[in-house]
Structure 1
């Protein structure tokens, strides 16, 4: 039993038992991939180790952004035909609240839509048809400034459709109808 254990320990100490690629003939490659050949750990600065996860994410996003010093017009390289860019306007608007529901869930963004082009009625089914690829496209933005910047970058003619300001609602109380300090209240005495 002792001889079997000593034989297995000798085999585990040899270089043949390590998990190395079987087809490799280069010793330089083996030295790089061999974890036992590394003598020290990689150096990491203290700011990276002590940073919060939000700070690390912000730093990686900041490092990944490309800043351009001048305003660039990308309309010649977008691939959109010139008739779709130069001859039509883009409406930037905020979607109104749905009249069927009381919630305000999907109205906190701005949308950009192209003006409509020629449409016709399909004689077979009676559906409305169009040859315009941009007629049904709507793009959403967080602010109108982002939409304006996108339009100017792509060389589009735009106009801003500002929503009407909603009137502030005053809460009404049934008891106010019977108060004596109202101007419209007439005394019956």
Structure 2
């Protein structure tokens, strides 16, 4: 019943930065998904994959995991890099 803790990243398809400050605790899948023979849909008997808890900061997520005895790994947030480029650079 291991979990991972990470910060929500900005959606690449949108310019908005809503909910970027939230941290998520998500359980690691216990079993692989399998195709249903009748419908072909992917699924598994592991119901913890459906659970995703959000927290205001990393400390709160770690405290929840420690309080409930959940071994959790924290995935570091990659640094944000901006490619600054002038419009005139398109014509060089």
* TM-score, reference length from structure 1: 0.43
Using the TM superposition, give the Cα deviation of residue 170 of structure 1 relative to its aligned residue in structure 2, in angstroms.
3.7
Match of 2:59 in 1: 145
Within 5 A, what are the aligned runs for 1:26-45? none
Within 5 A, what are the aligned runs for 1:159-178? 159-170=73-84, 172=86, 174=88
Structure with more of its chain in strand, by fraction: 2
**Which ranges of structure 2 fall in alignment gaps of 5 or more residues?**
none
Match of 1:89 in 2: 2
How many aligned positions are there?
A: 90
1:7-54 deviation line (CA, Å, top 9, x unaligned): xxxxxxxxxxxxxxxxxxxxxxxxxxxxxxxxxxxxxxxxxxxxxxxx
Using the TM superposition, give the Cα deviation of residue 162 of structure 1 relative to its aligned residue in structure 2, in angstroms.
1.0
Equivalent of 2:37 in 123, 128, 143: 123
Give the secondary-structure state (helix, strand or coil) at the position aligned to 1:93: strand
Name the larger-Rg structure: 1
* Higher relative contact order, chain-length normalized (CA < 8 Å, sep 6+): 2
> Quick check: 1:100 aligned with 2:10?
no
**Which ranges of structure 1 fall in alignment gaps of 5 or more residues?**
1-87, 178-189
Structure with more of its chain in helix, by fraction: 1
Match of 1:34 in 2: none
Using the TM superposition, give the Cα deviation of residue 166 of structure 1 relative to its aligned residue in structure 2, in angstroms.
0.8
Give the secondary-structure state (helix, strand or coil) at the position aligned to 1:97: coil
- Cα RMSD of the aligned pairs, angstroms, is 2.0
